[in-house]
Amino acid sequence: MASSAEQQQSGRSCVAAQSMRCLAEMCGIASLSEEACQLLADQADFRLRTLIQQGLKFARHGKRRRLRSADLAAVLRQRRIEPPYAYEYAAALPMQSVQAPGGKRLFFQESEEVDLIELASQPLPRLPVGACLKAHWLCIDGCQPAIAENPPPRPATSSAAAAAPAAPGAAAVTGAAASSASGVEPGVGSAALASLSTSAAAGPMRPRSLWELTVLGGRQSARSAAAAPREPEVARLRDVVCHELSREQQMFFREISEACVGSQEDRRTEALQSLATDSGLQQILPRLIVFVAEGVRVNSLTNNLALLIYLMRILQFLLQNPHLQLERYLHLILPSILTCVLGKQLCQRPETDNHWALRDFSAKQLGAVCSKFASPSNQLYARVCRLLVDYMARPRPHLASLYGCIVCTLELGQDAAANLLLPAVPRLSQRLDAAHGRLDSVSASHIRRKLLDQLPPLLRSLRGPRDSLDEYLRDYGSLGGELFSAVQALHAKARGSAAAASLQQHH
């Protein structure tokens, strides 16, 4: 029974208990029980297995199948254990074996005897060259100097072979690379890329002169480098590769674009709902954004109010979709929205058509874009505010565009209205007083109505109830009297509500 238990223990652990007893005797511990030896062997086996498993992870990260001593040393350093030295080299360790009593073989490392006197009498090696920081020319007048710091130039055969494929008609820019580098979606701006390829194929491009700092020893002269023969450079450009859609995606894009701007209201509602909830629209999203941008550009010139409203509704539902990433297309979305807000004429009959609803609706979309995508890195909020302030500061802005500027400022929040719109009210009052003609009168009445509807609650929170009419007239011009009356009405309403609430509490 003892022999079977010993076999079971030896099969369970790769470290023998006798090895633990030998190590204990080497450390001066003579009396060590068999149970203690076996416990130490189990612990040593566990630690070794853990070390090897972690080392295999380092080997897999290094894309190797064989475990190295460097992997085990890395595991020990990770566990804040100092690894043994002189094992991290590729050569095999010289090991010898002897026959021990009991039929076992003992392995030991053969060490070489070193004469300390001879070792101490050997001369010391030379010190390494000290590192220094030196500047050298990477490029002079479009030519790379032939100095030791720069890479060697290509031979003439390889230059000729590189120039052979760059024939006229085959020189173009790769669409995917060009679009990703410039931030333009594939398929957009192909004419600009074609002109770029034509100009690049007309002659070699000259790189700019650069300074490069490298850690080198020694010095080279830039004059001898400038006298080196120049090597002609050839621009190799590839064909434009357009990002294509599958047949099903093309059919879906055609159907949803026709439904959104068509005359059937039920199909339009279904298509817009799909734009707001579908999670698989990212593939055709660049086409949808370009469709909206080009549609706004064309229909703003033709004054097609209905299609402009439909296109803004497409943007509204795309902004509501949580699965889409619209940050890349802000350079197309914002101009489209601002065109529908600040355009001088968006319909055929500005006196009678309700283009004010389009400006209000587009201003809401602009507020949604700013609240969703504005960040300290892109400074979107500050740039939009600067654009609105610059437009309101013009000497004689168009009144319809001025209305859009006002509603945009109100949609950006209370801070924007207090800091941007209130200081401009005196100038707006002068512009409204100078309005003449039927069209300007209609625009001035809409602006006056919007200001008197939105500014009194803001003024009630910013100014005290003791401000007089003269102060309002001094601060806000001709609009000051109407604003004063509206603010006083709000204060009276608040006092009446407070009195009614207190009376109700007493009862």
Average pLDDT over residues 412-437: 88
pLDDT over 90 at 288, yes or no: yes
Q: Please check whether residues 310 and 417 belong to one and the same domain.
A: no
Q: Is 410 exposed, middle or buried (0-12, 13-18, 19+ CB in 10 A)?
A: buried
Three-class DSSP category at 123: coil
Confidence of residue 88 (pLDDT cuts 50, 70, 90): low
User: Which one, of 225, 203, 230, 200, lies nearest residue 212 by Cα?
Assistant: 225
Question: Has residue 214 got a pLDDT over 70?
Answer: no
**pLDDT tens-digit readout, 343-357:** 999 999 888 889 999
Give the per-residue pLDDT at 206. Answer: 39
pLDDT for the residue numbered 91:
60
What CA–CA distance (Å, rounded) separates 9 from 20?
14
Q: What is the pLDDT of residue 212?
A: 38
Looking at the domain assignment, is residue 203 inside a domain?
Answer: no
75 and 17 belong to one structural domain? yes
Q: Domain boundary at 81, 105, 130, which?
A: 81
- Taking Cα atoms as reference points, which of 151, 127, 130 lies closest to residue 231? 151
Residue 463: predicted pLDDT: 83
198 occurs within a structural domain: no
Helix (H) or strand (E) holding 133: strand 132-137
Q: What is the pLDDT of residue 169?
A: 39
pLDDT in the model for residue 223: 45
* CATH number of the domain residue 60 falls in: 1.10.20.10
Tokens of 265: 């209201």
114 in any annotated domain: no
For 254, the domain range is 248-373
Q: For residues 294 and 257, give the distance between their C-alpha atoms in angstroms, rounded to a whole number.
A: 13
Look at residue 310 and tell me whether its pLDDT is greater than 70: yes
Mean local confidence (pLDDT), 229-235: 60
Rounded Cα distance between 374 and 371, Å, is 6
Q: Among 80-89, 336-345, 463-472, which stretch is predicted with the lowest mean pLDDT?
A: 80-89
In the listed set 346, 373, 400, which residue is the last one of a domain according to the structure? Answer: 373
Instruction: Work out the pLDDT band at 271, boundaries 50, 70, 90.
Output: very high
Give the pLDDT of residue 138. 84
CA atoms of 406 and 398, how far apart (whole Å): 12
Domain boundary pick from 319, 344, 373: 373
Most confidently modeled of 92-101, 126-135, 233-242, 380-389? 380-389
**Domain contains 310:** yes
Please state, for a pLDDT cut of 90, what percent of the chain lies above it: 30
What is this structure's pTM?
0.53
Do 23 and 71 have their domain in common? yes
Q: Mean pLDDT throughout 257-279?
A: 92
DSSP 140: B
Same domain? For 426 and 341 the reply is no
Same domain, 359 and 423: no
- 239-258 tens-digit pLDDT: 655 667 888 889 999 999 99
Do 354 and 422 belong to one domain? no
User: Within this chain, do residues 363 and 457 fall inside the same structural domain, yes or no?
Assistant: no
Find the mean pLDDT for residues 11-15.
Answer: 67
462-483 tens-digit pLDDT: 887 778 888 888 888 888 888 8
Q: Is residue 172 part of a domain?
A: no
Residues 357 and 461 in one domain: no
Q: Is residue 105 part of a domain?
A: no
Same domain, 331 and 422: no
Residue 443 lies in a domain: yes
Among 298, 415, 402, 391, residue whose Cα is nearest residue 359: 402
Domain count, the chain: 3
pLDDT (tens digit, 9 = 90+) per residue, 132-186? 888 888 888 778 888 888 888 776 554 444 444 443 433 333 333 333 333 334 4
In this prediction, residue 259 carries a pLDDT of 93
Which residues are paired to 143 by β-bridges? 140
- The single-letter DSSP state of residue 101 is T
Per the CB < 8 A criterion, the answer to whether 448 and 406 are in contact is: no
What mean pLDDT, rounded, does the chain reach?
Answer: 79
Which percentage of the chain shows pLDDT scores above 70?
A: 78
- Asked whether residue 217 carries a pLDDT value surpassing 70, the answer given is no
Q: What is the CATH number of the domain that holds 292?
A: 1.25.40.770
Average pLDDT value for residue range 388-408: 90
Q: Is residue 334 located within the same domain as residue 417?
A: no
> Do 368 and 438 fall into the same domain?
no
57 found inside a domain: yes
CA terminus-to-terminus distance, the chain: 96
